[in-house]
Structure formats: structure tokens, C-alpha cells
Structure 1
């Protein structure tokens, strides 16, 4: 009965069409912007003195002691106990932990401040301040007025700037950044990665016309019953306008290389799209990552993007890309640059991480355990690397809390909105290793429903729980959430968290769900340069043995096994890892160490992926 109800629910979702999310402006790189990156002033405020009075009540907006106001005294008798000057500066984008030694373990509030000029034109245009990501809570002020507050450490957001508030010179922008962990946030208190704080991604002032194209989505419809149309694949999607005033608008979609132009006239702010591409369109794939320039324009605005066209679906036990079976040779990646001990944010950082994945032989990456910088997904588009993108619903979220569910939905919506035109992204993940209960399953099911409402063209999954020893020598992935996901993914560490790697020799895997199955994590720690026999924990030889046994086990996987993404590309910082000889605050499961050196296990996995690639090519 549950399956029938769910099937009916999906029918309602798909017939309702794809929906747009929130007020996020997308495709910022092709807008008129002023970069606000660079040096910002800062004040460290662990007691939040600049936000609360001594009775712990939020200061009024015009209170001169509030840190969103200038610290310059009006005269020599005025009392000021804060100020911004060049003695205290910090770089944006970037986490604060690696920029100052005293900030290494700091969790709390730091106020960021930047002054900028912007010459407005007398054209009635609209202005927004856009942030690629801030970890975790951001309160944003301009010229002493609060623009808004946002929570979520890895997704973009923007606030409108009233034109009357914006000055030609000397604009005073202040952001209160707070990365303290709380039980009712997403993620929650306990994670296995470093809690990098700060304005970690790009900041820009965006100028748009009064009526502008806020967002659009153009993707191929899923095939029917696993069969791709032989000619003219069908596009579905929408265009979201900001209409002022509400009047008839003609919107044009063009793809110059395909000599395609479509026009739509409407008074609605959300315009549904449905049209066919010419038969000569080249589909995007890892072997041929073709991107087309897509232009969306109105009489007042124009935006464009580089978009690849492909389909992805779970059909029975197979995973089909453009109607053909797909094996995902993957790797998990943290958004971190180990050799600099910092959060990744730049184009160079994305090139390093995805370049290392390609050296390993990967055609897929799992971006764990949060949405990574947009430069990662855009570069993956160009390189032809498939992407699993995930929100940080991690381990033990407060699943019974409706407010926490809304926070998770908000982050899910922002992740999907930013990247819904990225051909590389084939899987939206709603969480990782969440403990089974009815409350948790309802929570996660709600997120899956939300994801499918926002995007019916991709798969939705999560890293599920495993029933170890369900049968003799048989582990079952029978997590109840498996009923609702498109891809049955699970994490397993046989031989690291339980027994030794030779345990793989007698272990088999199964699932009651007639769906593709994917190993979303597996791994063992190996300290680079520490050599011993294969039985010695933390040695490179132990890690090497682990993956030899894992790969032998993979040869016995059931016929619905469609790939894996071992843990993890490179060693990364974690306060949970405190072995004084081998870890020292690092998770050592990387195939690369913290200096970029390859460990012995690298070559084991690389060889396996080369074999899989050769089999696929036949």
C-alpha cells in the first residue's frame, strides 16, 4: 500500500511540472556585477558584543555601539569601543581558520567589513548583494541597514539592496559571520570534517533591470521506459521573470550552434518550456562533454549559459546515461585543499581536485558532504565528470524538528537552483548515514519529494544504512528509505571498521529493491610514507591490501551494481582523528596525502578503473 501511495504522489509531482525555488539569482558570472572579493576588515567578537547588549537583547539598528555601524567617533568626547582599520584584515573568499594562527580552532562570530563605490545610473535598475557561501549564519548590513539573515554554510544567497540605500561612494558593507555548531542546525553538532568559518566563496554586487530574468532551467526530459527518442530529443524546463509591472512579455530562447530560436509570450512570472532540439544535437557524456551556448532574452534583459544536454535515469537494475548502461568509477571529495589546510574556493582549486580525480581514472565524483563551490560543477561540465551533489544532512540531525526540516529544504532548494543547468550533476543527495527510524524516514522522504518537485530530470539518492549479517555471509541494504530513492547507495568499510580486509572474501551484498546499487563510500586509513607489513594498521600496505580485497569482492556483486565512490580523494582535516602518530587531526583515508603524493592504494584503484573503462568501451 505504501508503494501505491508513493507512486500516486510521484504522478502528482511530475504532472505539476518543474518548479522554481526562492528568490536566488542564478548564473551570476554572466550578469553585470562588481566583485567585492579582496581584503576586508574584521573584528573578532566571541561574546557577540556588537550584536547584543549586556542584557543579551539584539541592539537596535541605529545603536552606535552595534558593529554594523562605523566605529569612527563623531568627536573627541564620543565613546566608541569598536572600529575597522587596516591593522586587522582578512581575505575574501577564504576561511578564517588558515589565515590567522589564532583562528585555527575558533568557532564563533567575526564581523567582516568592506567599503566600496558604485556609480548608479538613473535607469531604475535593481541591485542585489550576492554571496556564494558563508559558514554558517550570516547577518548582512549595508550603510547601517540590515538587508537580511541567512543560514547554511555551503549554498548561495542574495539580498536586494534598496536603490536609495546604495551610494556612489563610501558604501559600508558589514557581515556578521557565526560558525558555531548547534543541535538544531544542518549540519548538526557532530561532523567528521573541519568547521571552516568565514565568507568562503565569491561576493558580488549584482545590477539587473527592473524586469529581469531571475533564473531559468533547460534540460532534456527523461526517456520513456529506458528508450531514447531516435530523433529530436525533447526539452523541458521554465524561465522565471521578475515582472514589474505585470504585463505581456516575449521571451526568446536561442541556441545559435543548433540554429534554434523559440519565442514565448506570457504575463506570468514563471514560463513553462517544452520544445524539441534538432536531430543533430550532440548529447553530453564523459567521453564527449559537449556544451551549447544557450541565450535567454527579453526586451529588457539577456542572460546566457553553457549547457550540455543528456538524460539520466534508473531503469530496473540499470543506470542509463543517454539510454546506455553506465558504470560510475567514482571518488568522494571534500572541498578542501590539504597542502594549504584550507577550504577550496578558486578555479585553480577546482582544477586540482578534479584533475586528481581524473588521474585516478574517475568518470564520477561524489562531492561530500555539502554542495561544493560552483566552479567545481562548472568545471565538471567541461571535463565530462559526473557529479553527486549532497546537502549536509549528516549522521544525527534533529529529525523530529519541523524547523530543522525547513532548514534542510532551504539548503536543498539552493543547491538545486544553483546547479540545475549543469549536465555533470546527475544525482541530488539528501543525506549521509542517517540512523533508521520512522521519524527519520519521514524526514528524508520529505526531502526526496522536495527534490523531485524542483527537478524531475535527475536521480535522487542518499547514503543508506546497511543490515549487516542479515543472512549468513550476506549483508542487505534494506533501509526503508530505499523504497523512495532512485539509486540504492550505501557506505561500507569491511576490514577497517570491523575485522580485517580478508573479511571481504566471504561477504556478499544484496538489496530487496529492484534498483541500481552503488557503494557511496569505502576506505581505510594509510599514513603516507609509513611502510610496514599489510597487517599493520595505518600503513600504506594495509590500505593497499584493503582495496585489493575490496576489488576482488566487487567481482561478486549482483548484476544491479553500477559503481562506487571510495572514501576519499585526499587526506583532510578532522578534529575527530587524534592518533598522535598517524593522524594528528587528519583523516588519512585519502589516495593522495596532504602534500599531493600518491599512496600505494592509488595504483590499485586506478588499475581497476582502467579495466572497467576498457570493458565499457567494448
Structure 2
């Protein structure tokens, strides 16, 4: 049998690499974690630099101990007010590990908010602007290898105009060293950047692009190769590649690698490959290795539809902030994973990371569990004057775009790069400020020049952004009708049609759908009372279902947000969970609408009816699956109090055929509200297949005569050890619900006494 050339080459290479004159393969990057206890002092009067707080002989013995990563606005005894903005100084001494001399050494900060000045052994290394991306300094020639080194950081979280983000934002500008700090060791000739661009057409494979940095070795040539593993098995290898510098002295490698028997990455099957890249300078004894995970994924737009790996996809998403009690924005890895798992368990396939690049670990988790990602830089409601400012672009916008792309490029979960959020001010066509149009055109063109494997967009509020949509792959729309953009939530239906009218060839992604509420504030579904739990629930129900039925040009919906947050200029109580992650009954609403397909949706005109009036709603099917459901049946019934007892007041049924990948109106429910009727009522609808098995259940809560808060019954099912039981069936009267991973269900009922039955294994 003839052995393929690539395999033969690798076999020869292995023998060479491990012969007696070689020392084998070593990791291309080693890290020493500098997290832990630092010294901290606030500097509200900005005197620290003048007084030499960065100097080696400065006495910091009276400074506070401060655990890094951490922020001074929450979770640390920092000696400042919870809302302090200004300078904060950090000092830490460290030693260089033995054996690291003779290598390139960098200080790598994963994030410091917002402006960081860094000193090492009294020498100013530089300034970094931007609070959510990593930055590094080459300190090879600045370290003391035989004794302690002093690292000093001054963080500044002051809000200002003409910066990103600016002075007035909707989340808290927590100041400090919010992510890890590392001392990193690399060989003198090392990989600067490694990009993996996947493709499935015309054949499955990756484009590998590698840039190198040479710190004084000046080799005449370099040998390199790569191998790809899937589930622990090597499935692809390159030949041995010889590299030489180009005419500009730049070292670069571009190579295509075919992937046999491909396993695409998707939310349903988040298959991850691992690439190992190896290199060795001529005359050197060591092969250096860089590992990098990737997924085979293609995202495209065709007309008003979104396609993942060649198949249409509808996004069911939840937005998230990196914000947690006692942590602020310095969220632990465990808490990051738990939040993303909460989103995944809702049957969401999409997360909007708002409004900034998240900790790299969060993206690792999204890759692993299968969540598609929208990532953006925090250009949040900046004015047209700021968007047109060249200084802001050069110092803040472009660097953060570059850092976002460079640092997160290889994550298959990321399908959208966003250049900002809600800075449009035009509410009519042809009224967009030219500065805004110029900014969107400039930034989207620049991002595409860096990466053509993803979609480029931004979030333009409500019906703004007409002048910029031609530059976008997908129109991202925060649609806060009923809260910010209109007092009437039902206006969302006409407004999304208006957007489609002016951009008929673009998909619309509802990137924020929200309300806010306060715990314990109840007013009933007919009250439309802001800050009540019922109104918050109603907003999510109306917004989600009204947009789902526009599936022909709406490509996804996104709930804002998973959990309440420490707000900036707003209260921040948007969440399906409280800030300390206690579940609200709103969670059940979203979980139900996201969990199963096909869905049966309810489109109502209002939630307060009067006796003698005709209650009338539309029923729609929504099917993301690529299969039909024929000879289905819809059963509906209305419940409320009659003579003081919970009763079925009306019922009916209708037939339904549900086509594959569709959203169509099935029929209507009509009920003449009897005179004397009053209080809280519910329309229950159940979709059954041809065999009578339930496919979907939905409900609509409404009031008659006057707003009446429902009684809210929470049922928690646990085993003898107190562990939540998922999948338990809880029956109450004519209703049946299944517990989630928290072991919890909620029932909204008229006040009264009820019998509950729980069935679980």
C-alpha cells in the first residue's frame, strides 16, 4: 500500500525530532499567574504619580490588601464608596521562575477597566485604553531575574465623552483589574497570531494563517507543521513546511488543511477539533507547540434568512452581562459557566454578550456547550460628534475592534461582530446623521477587511438606523416596545413591518426584548403597570410571539437579560433571574416558548376585557423543524372563577396541519364574556399530534372588568437529600407542567385552594 506523502513526512519528522541531538517538543507559551493579593489605594485627588506611588522604594505597608482579579466597586474592602470613579493603584511583587532567563517574557493583562497605566520596577511600560480586552508588554529586558520585581498598575474608570465606553452607560463601570494577570514565557522566535478560518464549502477544511515574532534570533529559515485531532484521534497532518522571511522581513505562513469526514459545529452538535502547530528554527534543538481549538462552521445570509452550515436557523437568544453580587464585573469562571448553562437550559441557541467582549473563558464555554454569540465593542449610545471624531476612532474604536478580532477569532461560537449599540438618532428615513452613517460604513468595512467568515452588524434602537442598514449583513434591533420605545407593547407589530418595508432584503434580528420589574410588585395582567411582575411577563410574551410569527423576515429573538444587573443609569431589573440568581416566574414563560417545536403561539390585542365584550385572539403555529406535522389538533379552554370556584368557562378545538419550517395562522379563539364576569382568567391552548400526544402547551393570562393580580404558586420538587428533580410532572386541576433543572414550576391561578399531584421517578 502506498503511504500518503503527508504521513511519510510526519513519520520522518518524528524520528528527527526525538533523535539524540534534539530535546523534543515544548509548549510555546508557559504562564505564571499573578492573581492573588495585591496592595491597593484609591487616588481621588490624582496625586499618586506625583508622589511616586510607582517607585520601588515607595512604602505601601499601609495600603489595603486587595484580591485580584477584583474591582473596587463591589466585593472588596477598598476604602471607597460603592460608586467611586477615578484612579486606583495596585502594587505587587513577584519573582521570575527559574529557567526562564533567555526567553521572551511578557506581562499579559486579560482586562483592566478602563484606562491602565503600567510600571515595572519603576519604569512606565505604557498605557492601554479599553476595559474588556487583553493587552501585553514585552518585559524581557526589564525584569530582575535574580530577585523580586515590582509591578504597579493604575486603573482609571472615569467616565468621559469621546471614549469607549463613554460616561453614561446602562451597566456599572467597575474599576480595577477585573481579569487575570500573567507573566508569560515564549521562545525568542514565537507565534504572534494564529488564525483558523473554517469552511464547509466547496469542501471541509480550514485556512491556517500564522504570524511570527522574532526577538533577535534572526534565523535563516524555520520549519513548521500542523496536525488536527478530533475526539483524541489525529485526522489530518500537513507536510513539513519551510519558511523564510518575506522582503519586508515578516514571517508569515498560510496553509490550507483538508478535514476528512467533517463533523460541523452547531448548537445541537458543538463538535470541537484541536489543532497543534509546531515550529523550529534552523539550527535549533526544540520543536515548539501551540494548541488551539476550533469548529467547522459556516454562517451566511440569503435574502431574509440566516443559514448555519447550509441550513436555515432561527435564533432563540438571551442577553447577558458579566455582573454578579460580590464580584461586580470580575466574575469567577464558575459563575460564568453557570450563567451560560442557565441560558443553554432554556433551549436557547444564542447569547448576546452585552455590550463588550467577555472573559475568554466564557467563549470557551460557548464553544463547548453550543451557544452562538454576538460580540461587540462598547460603543454604546455615543453621539454623532463622537462617532465622527478621529481621535476617538484611533485611540478607542479601532484598537478595540482589532483586539476583539485578534483575541477571539478562533471561537466557532462567534457568528456576529458588532461595531456598537444604539447610537442612531434618526426615527425617519433619510434623517440619519451623516456622522453615524460614516461611522457604520467605516467600521463595518474595516471589520470585513479583517474577517470575512462572520456577519457584521450593530444594534440600532427601535426604528432608527435607516441610513446605515445597507452596510449590515443582519439588522440588529433592540425593540423595547411597551417600555422605552412606546407605551404600547403591541406597537412592535407595526414597527417591525415598517422596518421590513424599508429593508425588504435584510433579515431582522430582535437583539433586545425587555421590560423591568420589582420583586413583590403585582398589579395584574390588565393593568399594564410598569415595574409590576405581570407587566414584565406580558411584555416578554407579546414581544417574543409577535416577532416569531414574522419568521419570514425575522431571523431571531433575544430576551434582555438573563439576570438583573447593577445598572448604570437604569435600575437594571430586566432579568429572568434576580441579581443573586433566584428564579422569577418570567423564566417559565421564556422556557416554555423556547423549549419545544412546533410551537403554538397566541396573538392577542389586549389583556383587559369587559363583560359583554368578545374575547378574540389569533392562534399561530411556529415550526423550526424540517418536518411536517399533519392531522394535528388544537384544544383550547378558558378558566376563571365562577361562583367563587375555579372553573372551565369555555372550550373548543380545531384541526391544524403544520408545514416544515413555517409560521402560519391556524385560526381564532372567540368567547363572549358573560355579564358579571370579573377578575383573573387564563386561555389555555394545547397542540396535539395525530396520535393525540402533546406537542406544545401555551397560555394567555388576562383580566375581565378590572385588573386582578393572580395568586402565584411555586412548586419545588426535590429528593430526600434536597437535590432538585428535573422532569417531574406537577398536576394542578386541569394543568400539567414539568419541572426544569431547578426542580421548579410556577402556576398562576385565581386565589383559592387547589389539589396538587407530583409524579417523578
Query: In 2, distance between residues paired with 1:237 and 1:568?
Result: 36
1:185-224 to structure 2, matched below 5 A, reads 185-221=163-199
Q: Quickly say closer, same or farther: Cα 1:489–1:71, change in 2 above 3 A.
A: same
Post-superposition shift, 1:104? 0.8
Q: Quickly say closer, same or farther: Cα 1:239–1:343, change in 2 above 3 A.
A: same
Query: In 2, distance between residues paired with 1:119 and 1:549?
Result: 59
1:463-478 to structure 2, matched below 5 A, reads 463-467=459-463
Post-superposition shift, 1:500? 3.0
Give CA-to-partner distance per residue, 1:301-348, whole Å, 9 cap, x none. Answer: 2110222121111122221111111111111111111x4361143220
Q: How many residues are treated as equivalent by the alignment?
A: 543
Partner residue of 1:67?
Answer: 53
Q: Quickly say closer, same or farther: Cα 1:119–1:567, change in 2 above 3 A.
A: closer
Q: Quickly say closer, same or farther: Cα 1:601–1:68, change in 2 above 3 A.
A: same
Query: In 2, distance between residues paired with 1:411 and 1:114?
Result: 27
Give CA-to-partner distance per residue, 1:412-432, whole Å, 9 cap, x none. Answer: 111111110101111111100
Query: In 2, distance between residues paired with 1:612 and 1:270?
Result: 51
Query: In 1, distance between residues paired with 2:598 and 2:255?
Result: 35
Alignment root-mean-square deviation, CA: 2.1
Partner residue of 1:470?
Answer: none
Pair 1:491-2:473 in alignment? no
Query: In 2, distance between residues paired with 1:50 and 1:344?
Result: 24
Post-superposition shift, 1:30? 7.4
Post-superposition shift, 1:117? 1.1
Pair 1:267-2:263 in alignment? no
Q: Quickly say closer, same or farther: Cα 1:555–1:167, change in 2 above 3 A.
A: closer
Q: Which is greater in Rg?
A: 2
Partner residue of 1:529?
Answer: 520
For structure 1, the 5+ residue unaligned runs are 1-28, 53-64, 73-82, 468-476, 578-585
Query: In 2, distance between residues paired with 1:164 and 1:504?
Result: 59
Partner residue of 1:452?
Answer: 448
Partner residue of 2:298?
Answer: 311
Partner residue of 2:46?
Answer: 48
Query: In 2, distance between residues paired with 1:396 and 1:271?
Result: 38
TM-score relative to the length of structure 2: 0.68
Pair 1:576-2:552 in alignment? no
Match of 2:595 among 610, 614, 617: 610
Match of 1:128 among 106, 110, 113: 106
Q: Is this contact kept in 1: 2:388–2:438, CA < 8 A?
A: no
Partner residue of 1:286?
Answer: 267
TM-score relative to the length of structure 1: 0.84
* Partner secondary structure for residue 537 of structure 1: coil
Q: Quickly say closer, same or farther: Cα 1:134–1:191, change in 2 above 3 A.
A: same
Pair 1:89-2:80 in alignment? no
Give CA-to-partner distance per residue, 1:25-81, whole Å, 9 cap, x none. Answer: xxxx972011000000012111221224xxxxxxxxxxxx41110345xxxxxxxxx
For structure 2, the 5+ residue unaligned runs are 1-26, 281-286, 425-431, 600-622, 628-761
Post-superposition shift, 1:276? 4.0
* Partner secondary structure for residue 559 of structure 2: coil
Considering fraction of residues, name the structure with more strand.
Answer: 2
1:413-562 to structure 2, matched below 5 A, reads 413-435=402-424, 436-467=432-463, 479-497=466-484, 498-504=486-492, 508-509=496-497, 510=500, 511-534=502-525, 535=527, 536-557=529-550, 559-562=552-555
Partner residue of 1:33?
Answer: 31
Give CA-to-partner distance per residue, 1:546-602, whole Å, 9 cap, x none. Answer: 12222331244251211011211110012423xxxxxxxx31111111221222222
* Partner secondary structure for residue 398 of structure 2: helix
Query: In 1, distance between residues paired with 2:338 and 2:320?
Result: 11
Q: Is this contact kept in 1: 2:46–2:87, CA < 8 A?
A: yes
Give CA-to-partner distance per residue, 1:257-316, whole Å, 9 cap, x none. Answer: 343111432223453434242331211111111111210110152110222121111122
Q: Which runs of 4+ in 1 moved over 4 A?
A: 504-508
Partner residue of 1:233?
Answer: 204
Query: In 2, distance between residues paired with 1:298 and 1:43?
Result: 45
Considering fraction of residues, name the structure with more helix.
Answer: 1
* Partner secondary structure for residue 265 of structure 2: coil
* Partner secondary structure for residue 447 of structure 1: helix
Give CA-to-partner distance per residue, 1:201-260, whole Å, 9 cap, x none. Answer: 010000101101122011214x6xxxx43xx41322410111341532222111133431
Q: Is this contact kept in 1: 2:547–2:557, CA < 8 A?
A: no
* Partner secondary structure for residue 480 of structure 1: coil
Higher relative contact order (CA 8 A, sep 6+): 1
Partner residue of 2:226?
Answer: 253
Partner residue of 2:139?
Answer: 161
* Partner secondary structure for residue 218 of structure 2: coil
Q: Is this contact kept in 2: 1:213–1:302, CA < 8 A?
A: no
Give CA-to-partner distance per residue, 1:110-157, whole Å, 9 cap, x none. Answer: 110001111453762111000000001111111111111101010100
Partner residue of 2:398?
Answer: 409
Partner residue of 1:373?
Answer: 359
Give CA-to-partner distance per residue, 1:76-126, whole Å, 9 cap, x none. Answer: xxxxxxx31275111111111111363411111111000111145376211
Query: In 1, distance between residues paired with 2:504 and 2:144?
Result: 56
